[in-house]
A and B are shown apart, each in its own frame.
Chain A
């Protein structure tokens, strides 16, 4: 790297590297910072350079004394990020059962293996189990997903029990997107593959639905579940044809 001073201040640096240093250090004007932020969105090389400088400079923060913020700050943040309880309270029509409790579904997601086994026992309904499948076998953790609409509003909680292939849905909030002559259809999206149908579902009932064994492969933590609105009987093409009303990631403990 050249150490000769130059009028433009580049000192032999590439423009990309110089601007990355400026942005990481923060000395640019408002307009320069806005330009850099736009570039971060579209230029991976620039983003990587900025991140390298940020990581190098970060230990400097160690000398800045920590100062506890007043409790009002957390109260304001919590009010923004925990709308679920208020949503549920505002919707008595769907607040009909223990399953309409997002906290419980979240709890299932993070429960340890022992708790997961209990959860599976609760989820399995006697008589709905396919022949030959033991009713209470946790050969995999229960998987759960919270499916939210495009604005991030949670609509549906889903729990999948790998032991018997059952999926159960709990409405978190009412959606007015489903209308007469249409049905919701569940899809799984694994990586960059096209959505694969898991069949037409009945969200409102809160009942267990069994997914055919041949479609179970790939239902693992990290895949995306999506629900689209399709003509009665399901998508005629094998791919979603109607609007996608909710998506969510499947997760496990």
Chain B
């Protein structure tokens, strides 16, 4: 893929303009950026961490990173919301990994490798790219798609998934990577 696959909507352009001002230290632009993006980022973080106070802490941390790093945002590489949501996912997963093992929040549902994603989420999908990736995901081997979902949405590790599925970690990684390659091929095919 040589270009971002999200179309640049009016919203993206506005958010990118706000980030340019944030990079200049404009606190009002920063607040506007927060107002338009914080619910989405909080949703991403909460889905991974589940625990609310910890999620609020991570959200705060994420926006301080946005404030400091706004100048590094590159509109040629990603849309503003992708850039910010990626920071949020990474910080949430790192926080999850830093938890002591006993403090893990129970996530039975996350370990259940049944690919129930597209059906239950379909009503919320409004973006064309989101529809395309959901459709592509639904054509994968179900265990591969479910492993990808568990990692991406819930922050589950390969090790945890492998133990749950009673397969070697190498096999689990192979599922995921083959699934991602297939996903990429499907998306590139449908873009042409």
Contact of A55 among B31, B82, B121, B181 (CB under 8 A): B82
Cβ contacts under 8 Å, A64 to chain B:
40, 43-44, 47, 153
Whether A73 and B38, one on each chain, are in contact in the complex, defined by CB atoms closer than 8 angstroms, is yes
Q: How far is the CA of A60 from the CA of B134 in the complex (A)?
A: 7
In the complex, what residues of A have CB within 8 A of residue B31's CB? 74, 78
Contact A62 B176, beta carbon cutoff 8 Å = no
Given contacts A13-B177, A26-B151, A55-B77, contact A77 B34 (CB under 8 A): yes
Most buried by B among A18, A21, A64: A64
Report the separation of the CA atoms of residues A53 and B187 in the bound assembly, to the nearest whole angstrom.
12
Q: Flag whether B146 is at the interface (Cβ < 8 A).
A: no
B132 near A59 with CB under 8 A, answer: yes
**Contact between A60 and B25, CB atoms less than 8 A apart:** no
Is B11 located at the chain interface by the 8 A CB criterion? no
CA distance A249 to B21 in the complex (A): 12
Quick check: B60 and A73 within 8 Å, CB to CB?
yes
CA distance A26 to B94 in the complex (A): 9
- The number of residues on chain A lying at the interface, defined by a beta carbon within 8 Å of a beta carbon of chain B, is 56
Residue of B nearest to A47 (CB): B77
Q: Mark A1-25, 1 if CB is under 8 A from B, else 0.
A: 1010111111101000010011001
Nearest CB on B from A22, distance (A): 7
Pairwise interchain contact A110-B26, C-beta atoms closer than 8 A: yes
Main secondary structure of the interface of B (DSSP, over half): helix
Nearest residue, chain B, Cβ from A154 = B25
The answer to whether A26 touches B90, judged by C-beta atoms less than 8 angstroms apart, is yes
Chain A residues with CB under 8 Å of B104's CB are none
The docked-state distance in angstroms from the alpha carbon of A82 to that of B26 is 10
> A18-B177, A66-B40, A81-B30 are known contacts. Are A58 and B125 too (CB-CB below 8 A)?
no
Asked whether B64 lies within 8 Å of A6 as measured between CB atoms, the reply is no
Bound form: Cα–Cα A10–B26 in Å = 46
**B130 close to A (CB within 8 Å):** yes
Does the CB pair B177–A74 fall under 8 Å? no
**Could you say which residues of chain A place their CB within 8 Å of the CB of B173?**
9, 18, 22, 27
Q: Does A217 contact B (CB under 8 A)?
A: no
Q: Does A97 contact B (CB under 8 A)?
A: no
State A127–B88 Cα separation when bound (angstroms): 55
Q: Are A59 and B130 in contact (CB under 8 A)?
A: yes
B39 lies within 8 A of A67 (CB): yes
Residues of A within 8 A of B78 (CB): 51, 54-55, 58
Instruction: Choose one: A7, A8, A52, A70; the contact of B56 (CB below 8 Å).
Output: A70
B82 near A69: Cβ-Cβ < 8 Å = no
Does B114 sit at the interface, judged by CB under 8 A?
A: no
Tell me if A134 counts as interface (CB < 8 A to partner B): no
- Cβ of B152 < 8 Å from any Cβ of A? yes
Tell me the bound Cα distance from A29 to B43 in angstroms: 23
Q: How distant is B60 from chain A, measured CB to nearest CB, in Å? A: 5
Closest to B4 in A: A55
Q: B21, A67: Cβ atoms under 8 Å? A: no
Binary contact track B15-37/A, C-beta < 8 Å → 1, others 0: 00000010011110011001000
**Contact of A63 with B134 at beta-carbon distance under 8 Å, contacts A52-B1, A106-B26 already known:** yes
Q: Is the CB of B176 within 8 A of A27?
A: yes
Whether the pair B177, A54 counts as a contact (CB closer than 8 A) is no
Contacts of B134 on A, CB cut-off 8 Å? 60, 63
Let me know if A67 and B64 touch, CB within 8 A.
no
Contact A54 B42 (CB under 8 A): no
Q: Would you call A251 an interface residue if the criterion is a C-beta within 8 Å of the partner chain's C-beta atoms?
A: yes
The answer on a CB contact under 8 Å between A80 and B177 is: no
Residues of chain B having any CB pair with chain A under 8 Å: 1, 4-6, 21, 24-27, 30-31, 34, 38-40, 42-44, 46-47, 56, 59-60, 63-64, 67, 77-79, 81-82, 85-86, 89-90, 93-94, 97-98, 117, 121, 124-127, 129-130, 132-134, 137, 148, 151-153, 155-159, 161, 168-174, 176-178, 180-181, 183-184, 187
Given contacts A69-B39, A82-B27, 9 further A-B pairs with CB under 8 A are A11-B174, A25-B180, A27-B176, A54-B78, A58-B6, A60-B134, A60-B153, A63-B125, A77-B67
